[in-house]
Structure 1
Amino acid sequence: MHKLSCSSYEELVSRFSLEVPEKYNFAFDDLDRLADATVDGSGNPLALVHVDDDGTRRDYTFSWLKDASSRLANVLKTQGLRKGDRVMLVLYRRVEFWVAMLACHKVGAVPVPSPSQLTPKDIIFRVNRANIRAMIVEDSITDRVEASRPECPSLTCLVEVGGTSRPDSRPDSRPDSRPDGWLDYETAVADASPVFPKPQGDALAGGSDPLLIFFSSGTTGMPKMVEHTHTYPLGHYMTGAYWHDLEEGDLHLTLADTGWGKAVWGKFYGQWLAGASVFVWDFRGKFEPARLLEQLAEHKVTSFCAPPTVYRFLVREDLAKYDLSALRHCTTAGELLNDSVFLAWKKQTGLPIYEGYGQTETTLQICTLPTMEPKPGSIGRAAPGWDIVLRDMAGRICPPGEEGEICVRVSEKTPVGLFTGYMEDPEKTASVMLNGYYHTGDKAWVDEDGYFWFLGRVDDLIKSSGYRIGPFEVESALVSHEAVVEAAVTGVPDDLRGQIVKATVVLSAGFTPSPELTKTLQDHVKKVTAPYKYPRIVDYVAELPKTISGKIRRVEIRQRDEEAAKK
């Protein structure tokens, strides 16, 4: 692919297009191409820089990944896996995650990236819901899988990574041998061929065939299965080449665990399609901002993406202590970035932060690109290739300044990267694919310049005294105060106003709940945003209820309040 050089957003929109080859398969058509290009010196040989929790760095080339994924593909094929079989991966940020994903693409199996926090109950639900045939997991997960096996009859292939036979096995590895029925990854791939010929005819997975499945994080209910096809990686070319602004030779870090969709947004397809290398920091345990800054400085990361919460922690550090001179581009997504963090980061690094918006069901839908002037708090404009409109409850398209649901027009053309639907849930799929639009379930408004301003999930909006208040606006105002680490804003029933705003707050170290602090936070919100949005109730908690992907479960807070009101 050739990255366009455009002087404006409008020029990029008019010139950008994606060519989708017939039966496209990323592993064969691009990974192998990148590997072969290094033979004649025409491409960037470095695919991935991997740093363990202990600081050990290992560099991996595209050629190495091609051979390693072919070895594992041969192992999986020998184990009876075929096109369409589903494989759950629980591998943290180990390099084997990338190998396993590519191996599945070659075999035609469908990987299901999964988080390490899954309990045996979660594993049983997902394995049976998705009819999982195989699991490839780190040895720290093996015992949980074993506890689940009696209730998972579809499992026929189990592969353990990093077990006791591995020379660099982690200190916390199980001292005993692996249970019966498990393959040792290292032993299995060592004896396999590094050549896996591209399948022919119907045996080749590509194009509209299933590529992978994500389980949604389930903020309002049980997780849903989101299916993407083999064209999905091409949709992330916009993510890597334009939003992350990557060129050949760049080193990009997206701070995400491989169990979630954000990993393939920022640690896989789009970055390699742009010619860049992926930086992986496989840290374990509690996130430490100072250690992240050390990684950025030591390894000369050039492009960085993280949630706004991470930037909030980083700007509290003494950034002058770290050599961030190699860093030239910063992006964020997942929640709103408040003005104070944007300005503090830019003041200390000289770099703006470019926001973006998308979902597990999509690739990048809305973004702020390098050719655009960032507006702090705005998620940007519609990504080229995506026809985005806001629609009100009656289905009318909203004019600037009027809030509506973010919808993707699909009546004329389906954008590359949009999911096929919720697997085995036609009713849910039909509820979001209506009248030629995909309904995201998210609310926003758009300004006169075409910039979108995110408000929150449709179900999370608060209706108070005739006003409609988005929780993100109030949360953003609260976390801009030094006393607040995290905040969740919900509506509480009120006889006079319909609903009033409630803030559930986690305090920073050194601050304690008090009526005085509550008044201070309320006054702070009144100054930062419209006064009518201030929280009339402030509840202090040690932690917020979250999904295992880290998303706040406001629905759980509302349910607790409803139960308390009945007593």
Structure 2
Amino acid sequence: MELSPSAHVDTFCRDRLPPFPLWPELHFELPELDYPDRLNCAQRLLDDAVERWGADRPCLLTPTERWTYGELLHRANQVAQVITEDFGIQPGNRVLLRGPNNPWLVAAWFGVLKAGGVAVTTMPLLRAAELAQLHDASLPVVAVCDHRYTDELEAADTPGLAVLTYGGHGAQDLTRRCAVKDGRFSNVTTAADDVALIAFTSGTTGRPKATMHFHRDVLANADTFSRYVLKPRQDDVFTGTPPLAFTFGLGGLVVFPLHTGAATLLIEQAPPEQLADLVAEHGVTVLFTAPTGYRAIMAAGAVDRLAGLRRCVSAGEALPAQVWEEFHAATGLRIIDGIGATEMLHVFISAADDDIRPGSTGKPVPGYRAMVVNEAGESVPDGEPGLLAVTGPTGCRYLADPRQTTYVKDGWNITGDTYIRDQDGYFWYVARSDDMIVSSGYNIAGPEVEKALVTHPYVADCGVVGAPDDKRGMLVKAYVVLRADVAPDETTVKELQNHVKQTIAPYKYPRAVEFVTELPRTSNGKLQRGELRKRAHGAAE
């Protein structure tokens, strides 16, 4: 394998790519994936969009603002001027981005890519110690930070990091600096396989892994999942809840809409009812959120405000068939489920429209291949559980991390999910491989028990993990958030246990039930089962 000559003066990223023998197999069979050797994805997504569709097309919307494609291009060019002229950013330098989903964060992301920099977008809720970890891994030169989110960044141990705020009123604020720039910038002609972004995994245990993605990778997800499954239109308005630091959000709220000339409504924060109101108010047609988001909109009685939607996408965690069925009955909409991974950048198994089978994740997205394998990497028969393995135009490249050898085996990305493939080629989620509970010799998938529990009218939310047990090795423990006016007593415990016994195999029922007011979730809505496991272990001790 040979990489194109890099445009990066700072070779930090390329120097830290895994050795070629540890890379996954990459293939580019679709005609859309035949990218030129020199490619800057910012040029393709933004400059070319203005040239094709005009500067006046609506691009970035908020509850109070409206930016056209031309305005975003002008401000992204100004950002590129500020970071290169005022801060000396060179191609290959990393720039940390921190803030909620808003237009200036998008302008900064494009400005960094235009300058040949590497965008390191971080979750806005991260604390100082977590930011220090991410800094140590990626060594950014400058941080561009929303002025409301500077406290934790300033408290973090990040020696030598220059902090540039935006959205405030100080003379040194990015917006003030941009105002004195003319907005003319010549994009750096990066290689298609120059690193464009570093994304950190949102895993709930251990040190976050830094994944490196090329300029061509950013476009590849638009030319596979978006083009062939989502099928967006120019008149679409996208919105959603995932942060842009979560690659599900970056694709769904920036890359996919701009790739097709559509608009996107950026929301900094919105509880379910407010999200539904914004969908109605702004004519949103494409919604990206997690299964918990769809469930919460239904619980809030706000589904009538989703009448204008034509596409709903779910990812982040498995979508229970019951949630799909309830949402479909309430709205007539078919939620597009999908599995993606930070290592793969976006969704690689999915289905839409008549191809959907509720409860199944779907089939490999055009451009990707997938199979279910055993620990030795051999394909298992259809109907049997095993490890999900996938290849395509994107794949795992950790930044100087020995865990590369765990994720990539024999050229396949091993995602850490247990799946079953049926005889029709549909993939059915069982559990995260580390969410399997072995109790008295039985393998029990925590998410399967959760799916059974949430069908009971008493249950608002739940998480299921294994708890240490002297007799069984582990027992199934459920943490349950009850709906209002349901008593958290032994009668309710028995009711829920009996419900699970009648819904799935009786041996899978939760022998321990603990009622809680909320469950630990990541900022992108993913259940932190690792935190629940720690709690269960602590309780057992």
Question: TM-score, normalized by length of structure 2?
Answer: 0.89
Matched, 1:422 2:423: no
Q: What's the offset of the Cα at 1:315?
A: 1.4
Q: What's the offset of the Cα at 1:276?
A: 2.2
What is the distance in 1 between the residues matched to 2:195 and 2:303? 47
2:128 counterpart residue number? 120
1:45 counterpart residue number? 57
1:262 aligns with one of 248, 269, 278: 248
1:299-314 alignment, distance < 5 Å? 299-314=282-297
Q: Deviations for 1:16-53, whole angstroms, at most 9, x for unmatched residues? A: 752222222111133111111234x9xx82222222xx
The worse-fitting range, judged by mean Cα deviation, of 503-512 and 220-229 is 503-512
1:208 counterpart residue number? 193
* Aligned-partner SS, 1:562: helix
Matched letter for residue 251 of structure 2: W
Q: What's the offset of the Cα at 1:335?
A: 1.7
Matched letter for residue 158 of structure 1: V
Query: Against the structure 1 CA distance between its residues 473 and 381, is the aligned structure 2 distance closer, same or farther, given a 3 Å change threshold?
Result: same
1:186 aligns with one of 175, 193, 205: 175
2:68 counterpart residue number? 61
Identity of aligned residues (%): 32
Matched letter for residue 187 of structure 2: K
Whether the 8 Å CA contact 1:245–1:329 is kept in 2: the answer is no
2:42 counterpart residue number? 27
Q: Deviations for 1:70-125, whole angstroms, at most 9, x for unmatched residues? A: 11101100111011111111120121111011101111111111112122222222
2:78 counterpart residue number? 71
2:484 counterpart residue number? 509
Whether the 8 Å CA contact 1:357–1:367 is kept in 2: the answer is yes
Query: Against the structure 1 CA distance between its residues 460 and 185, is the aligned structure 2 distance closer, same or farther, given a 3 Å change threshold?
Result: same
Query: Against the structure 1 CA distance between its residues 490 and 240, is the aligned structure 2 distance closer, same or farther, given a 3 Å change threshold?
Result: same
Matched letter for residue 82 of structure 2: V
Matched letter for residue 217 of structure 2: Y
1:228 aligns with one of 213, 229, 242: 213
Between 1 and 2, higher relative CO (CA 8 Å, sep ≥ 6) is seen in 2
What is the distance in 1 between the residues matched to 2:312 and 2:538? 43
2:499 aligns with one of 520, 524, 548: 524
Query: Against the structure 1 CA distance between its residues 538 and 375, is the aligned structure 2 distance closer, same or farther, given a 3 Å change threshold?
Result: same
What is the distance in 1 between the residues matched to 2:474 and 2:409? 30
What is the distance in 2 between the residues matched to 1:549 and 1:335? 10
Q: CA RMSD in A?
A: 2.2
1:344 counterpart residue number? 326
Query: Against the structure 1 CA distance between its residues 136 and 563, is the aligned structure 2 distance closer, same or farther, given a 3 Å change threshold?
Result: same
Q: What's the offset of the Cα at 1:547?
A: 4.0
- For structure 2, which runs of at least 5 residues remain unmatched after alignment? 1-27
Question: TM-score, normalized by length of structure 1?
Answer: 0.85
- For structure 1, which runs of at least 5 residues remain unmatched after alignment? 1-12, 166-177, 410-414
Q: What's the offset of the Cα at 1:561?
A: 3.2
* Aligned-partner SS, 1:360: coil
Matched, 1:370 2:353: yes
Query: Against the structure 1 CA distance between its residues 242 and 50, is the aligned structure 2 distance closer, same or farther, given a 3 Å change threshold?
Result: farther
Whether the 8 Å CA contact 1:240–1:271 is kept in 2: the answer is no
* Aligned-partner SS, 1:129: helix
1:380 counterpart residue number? 362
Whether the 8 Å CA contact 1:105–1:205 is kept in 2: the answer is no
Q: What's the offset of the Cα at 1:440?
A: 0.8
Query: Against the structure 1 CA distance between its residues 270 and 37, is the aligned structure 2 distance closer, same or farther, given a 3 Å change threshold?
Result: same
Whether the 8 Å CA contact 1:460–1:490 is kept in 2: the answer is yes
Matched, 1:218 2:203: yes
Q: What's the offset of the Cα at 1:218?
A: 2.9
1:426-437 alignment, distance < 5 Å? 427-437=402-412
Query: Against the structure 1 CA distance between its residues 531 and 265, is the aligned structure 2 distance closer, same or farther, given a 3 Å change threshold?
Result: farther
Q: Deviations for 1:522-559, whole angstroms, at most 9, x for unmatched residues? A: 12222332322211111112333344544333233333
Matched letter for residue 236 of structure 2: D
1:149-168 alignment, distance < 5 Å? 151-155=157-161, 157-165=162-170
2:10 counterpart residue number? none
